[in-house]
Structure 1
């Protein structure tokens, strides 16, 4: 708990590769000793590669990607498992995010930019035993820096293109002989990457502020540790331009594409007749107690989080005409979460047995509002009108878990674990048609006329037993080979905008994944080369997907069938010399729907899983250089990521072509200096790539990732 943030001194010698301590299996262990596929992103890497949010994190981690079709719609994908537009108040993400072991239940409304972190652990594959809330696809574990009794601090400020300004810093030290504190903050402001050409204002801009205070109580000669953390964050932004290109799989050119081409509009220019917006605020607090007995450590973690997110945007980025519809969509998400975990972890290094026992409970109150309004006359009658959905959900999760390991020999260890989970969900939903545009039918998807409404109360509960088994074999101190089989579970729920009362009562069942994995973690050539590999096969059942339900003639979320996912991952670090460090990683994924026929009769079986790149490769280096009095005063770091082809929809027509992103930074810091200057750039080749896409009557709507950005930072440590 007493580690500090990244220091501004020169990088350590690259001759021996640094060991990273992780807590993915609820023990403090070397990354190389944990028998699962984990990428640990250290504070130095976060700093030098300017990894400030989930989007930038996904760029350099194998088998991990992210899409963001709406400002509140972050969809994380690990090994082909993701949640596509499943955003109801009752829904759960497929990939879980934890901050200091506290689960973030609603990614859309939570504001989770990264600052003053010790590390981030990306844990791939279903986590069905130890990780607090059970997750089906994988987990992102964010570990903040903790207070120290050794005083220190740092402040960084920088400028960049698009009038960007960023600042962050921390200060830590003793408050009393038994109490240490830490305060950290971050500010990120910039103008927009895009432009509304009709109303003449920036789009894809950002104004964000965050702060965190932590207090560590550590009595002398006592086995007790207590940590209180309080954090706050807010952001205001205009969503990026939703621009149209021709849908290559629909005959002719869409009306909006033709209109844009005739006027020479660029890919980051919008013609929305309304002002788009996105606002988030989040407040969180956690209290952790650790008590060390002679034989075990008792840990209790209480977490509270209250967030609010709202957004509004023109769905097509253009009015009507030339668009066939002019609809403005508004949504607000307000979750409140209280969670408690208690666990007991054995601590007897002389025993061949080790074990973990624990219990977890979480209660969520989630209020969500969805509204869609046709602001002008539309060509399509079904898209005229205005609806409003309100939904208040209560979600309860209770679980008990345990794991035991036994060293069969000095080289062979067997581990078994299991978790029993009960999910109880219920809520109250009201759907109203405020206007129907005069045609007797509300704006899609609500099948009501003006003034009509329906109200439903819904509830259900699910139980799950998720076991796991692991075998570890160590032929020597530098190699660990493992094989594992485990099950993951994601709870069921209901659709967020059902078209009828009957549809609102139709829930979907939980997803389940069984993961089979073999891997090896190796330190070779006197710790100058580290190579970790993993191969996996996942049986994925009851996929949750939006589709047409014939019994109510409406689109709801339901269970679509099954899929097979198999793949291979590798991560390499090579300390070539004292000054040169090379790193590389890659993943190959073969993901296929094996049983997916929509209620409309469309067969997706045999197609690749949507939004899952078939390959991803990353290569980078860090090189320290200089002469005389400036020996190793310069540090050059570069990183290139190539992301392979992926499909936006399960019918495998619209695709994202392969693309590559190049980032680099050059730092200057004289020997023994307490300051440094860093010049940095991201997406230096200015690659244009989509982070979300959707078809609409001959047009393909795209939302693009960040363009080339660059800047300079000045940092001072004290």
Structure 2
């Protein structure tokens, strides 16, 4: 798999053999199918990124994770606007309190329902599993695109600890660490923390302040109760995280698809401003805090099964404020400041019973899942200067309180017909109920009786809408596995995924606020092979798939209210192939490579305004993506393998930002590398690292505004040095 393993010697033979050593690829244990199994034994497309890779490649968040995983990318236009994409399936600006992401994120099997407000950075992790394709049976929450499963390190009864501190450019400081050990003969604890601070990658030229900066702190405590001679294990986890930033730089260039030259891009070009300069007359911000707790109880039953209960709670808050055009008036035609707050509270419960009898040819899982979310969302937009255009002057405010309930029962059964052939079927029945109250209010208009931007009300007017709806879904799955020998597994599967419906977050009218959109569904057909070749020195995994995607949720014009709302927009077909290779060349050199080619097109997409997108490529879906990495350990004498060099290059193909296939992100490549020095048997090491070493400028979001093309850019070249001490 991609960037997963380190070279290791094969076990010595017990019978006399010529003196010889051969490097093998390390096995990785995953829990994607709710059992602890070798990655190579799980019949689905999974990339497992281990703790060593996370540390050496400085994978600290979802954005940096995408460089090591095929078919996975992320766009981010604001601190609350993360949009994950797996195999072409993503949620684009569907951020209402009632909305769901297309790609699910789980931390220790607890679903994270609100990406922007709730998620924190990666630290002290055992691994991350990226599970591609719809997950309609086992993962707790039903998802259509795939899942990111984050697995934290657990407490140990063997005492240990580590602390790492580092410095980098942009005045960066980072520190993280953990300590674990027994509190008694039956209770162990683990405490972990992380700090990430840096100056901004960009600059507000008007206010002379940084943007794209970061101040982040996280901490986690875990307590493992494991009595001696008992079948009971209980794990309590409590975590807290916070982050602050002064907003993001937006670069304006001329939109080639709009006549004339954009005012902001012309103004910036005349003054020599770069892609990381912004001109907002207001101070921008993005703040997040999150508190979570979970309790997992496992009990091994004497008759060959394991009972598991997972209870999760999360209370989060996110807020942001930014100038929509990144500039005041002039040079923009309007000076509008947008505010948003997102405050979700979530409680979830899962029960499951999993067979655990290696002597039986049957394996099975049954379970139930329930989750309740209370989400309060506030959105406001204020025009802070007189544009001379009444429709672009005024102030609106939306408040939305939503209650979301989902419940499900699920089951799966597999049977080994022979030692080579296994068949598995499973299904989940899901019921979603969503409801709430939304208030739209125009505090002031521009004199034309219409509020700024979307809201079709005059100053002082408002409306209140109560909404509620229920949906249900049956999502089956079938898998066939064939093992011609111990080193090869071939599988074929078909499965269905489901994503709940909802309502638009800033409807223009009361009528529009009442119009909901229906759930999305995806059926995935997949064949794949997992192989360990040449005495386990080469691992090659392949997958080919076709997904039929229906009821796409998209923003479009609704004629009955003459307003733009989120609605269901036809269907799409996605076809692709993926490959992952790990080659342990010898005990010093490891090569990783992975890639995907995806043909993702709208099959039937005609908006209510009559605009035809059928046949176009799906937005924000790169056609191809690949990476290649190398790990090389070297040094002789007293410095035997004291040096370890690691590099990874990721190429992302071109993609379109909108369904009309005009504005494009050109293909780009990112190079990361690190060099570590650690004396043999030493308890300390020092690592020099660099990210985006070629200083590639690439967008993570793009929008068109009145002749200008606005882009948000990914991080520039960063580098630093870390010192780590273990005890």
TM range (shorter): over 0.9
Name the CA distance, whole Å, in 2 between partners of 1:137 and 1:296.
31
1:419 aligned residue (416, 428, 439): 428
2:148 aligned residue (140, 148, 160): 140
1:254 aligns with 2:254: no
* Residues 303-314 of structure 1 aligned to structure 2 (within 5 Å): 303-314=312-323
TM-superposed deviation, 1:115: 0.2
Name the CA distance, whole Å, in 1 between partners of 2:704 and 2:277.
18
1:457 aligns with 2:466: yes
Aligned partner of residue 184 in structure 1, secondary structure: strand
CA displacement 1:500-531 (0-9 Å, x = unmatched) = 00000000000000000000000000000000
| Corresponding residue of 1:82 | 90
| Corresponding residue of 2:673 | 664
| Corresponding residue of 1:361 | 370
Aligned partner of residue 451 in structure 2, secondary structure: coil
CA displacement 1:230-267 (0-9 Å, x = unmatched) = 00000111122112011111122111111111111111
| Corresponding residue of 2:452 | 443
CA displacement 1:614-654 (0-9 Å, x = unmatched) = 00010000000001100100000000000000000000000
Aligned partner of residue 117 in structure 2, secondary structure: coil
* Residues 33-432 of structure 1 aligned to structure 2 (within 5 Å): 33-294=41-302, 295-432=304-441
TM-superposed deviation, 1:11: 7.1
1:554 aligned residue (552, 555, 563): 563
Name the CA distance, whole Å, in 1 between partners of 2:705 and 2:608.
21
TM-superposed deviation, 1:188: 0.1
Name the CA distance, whole Å, in 1 between partners of 2:497 and 2:293.
28
Size of the alignment, in residue pairs? Answer: 709
2:689 aligned residue (664, 680, 690): 680
- Comparing 302-311 with 317-326, greater Cα deviation is found at 317-326
Name the CA distance, whole Å, in 1 between partners of 2:720 and 2:366.
49
TM-superposed deviation, 1:208: 0.3
Name the CA distance, whole Å, in 2 between partners of 1:460 and 1:35.
36
8 Å Cα contact 2:190-2:222 kept in structure 1: yes
- Comparing 371-380 with 492-501, greater Cα deviation is found at 371-380
Name the CA distance, whole Å, in 1 between partners of 2:245 and 2:273.
22
Name the CA distance, whole Å, in 1 between partners of 2:193 and 2:601.
44
| Corresponding residue of 2:553 | 544
1:711 aligns with 2:709: no
| Corresponding residue of 1:7 | none
* Residues 486-505 of structure 1 aligned to structure 2 (within 5 Å): 486-505=495-514
Name the CA distance, whole Å, in 2 between partners of 1:678 and 1:240.
29
2:615 aligned residue (603, 606, 612): 606
8 Å Cα contact 1:226-1:288 kept in structure 2: yes
8 Å Cα contact 2:246-2:286 kept in structure 1: yes
| Corresponding residue of 1:569 | 578
Name the CA distance, whole Å, in 2 between partners of 1:708 and 1:439.
48
8 Å Cα contact 2:595-2:625 kept in structure 1: yes
Q: What TM-score results when the alignment is normalised by the length of structure 1? A: 0.98
Name the CA distance, whole Å, in 2 between partners of 1:240 and 1:102.
30
Aligned partner of residue 24 in structure 2, secondary structure: coil
| Corresponding residue of 1:4 | none
| Corresponding residue of 1:524 | 533
8 Å Cα contact 2:592-2:629 kept in structure 1: yes
Runs (4+) off by over 6 Å? none
2:626 aligned residue (617, 621, 638): 617
Name the CA distance, whole Å, in 2 between partners of 1:100 and 1:156.
24
8 Å Cα contact 2:7-2:584 kept in structure 1: no
| Corresponding residue of 1:3 | none
Name the CA distance, whole Å, in 1 between partners of 2:435 and 2:298.
34
Aligned partner of residue 118 in structure 2, secondary structure: coil
8 Å Cα contact 1:111-1:234 kept in structure 2: no
8 Å Cα contact 2:7-2:586 kept in structure 1: no
* Residues 643-658 of structure 1 aligned to structure 2 (within 5 Å): 643-658=652-667
Aligned partner of residue 57 in structure 1, secondary structure: helix
Aligned partner of residue 108 in structure 1, secondary structure: helix
Name the CA distance, whole Å, in 1 between partners of 2:490 and 2:436.
47
Name the CA distance, whole Å, in 2 between partners of 1:265 and 1:240.
15
CA displacement 1:388-410 (0-9 Å, x = unmatched) = 00000000000000000001111
User: CA RMSD of the aligned region, Å?
Assistant: 0.8
1:32 aligned residue (40, 50, 53): 40
8 Å Cα contact 1:243-1:316 kept in structure 2: no
CA displacement 1:280-321 (0-9 Å, x = unmatched) = 000000000000013100000000000000000000000111
8 Å Cα contact 1:111-1:235 kept in structure 2: no
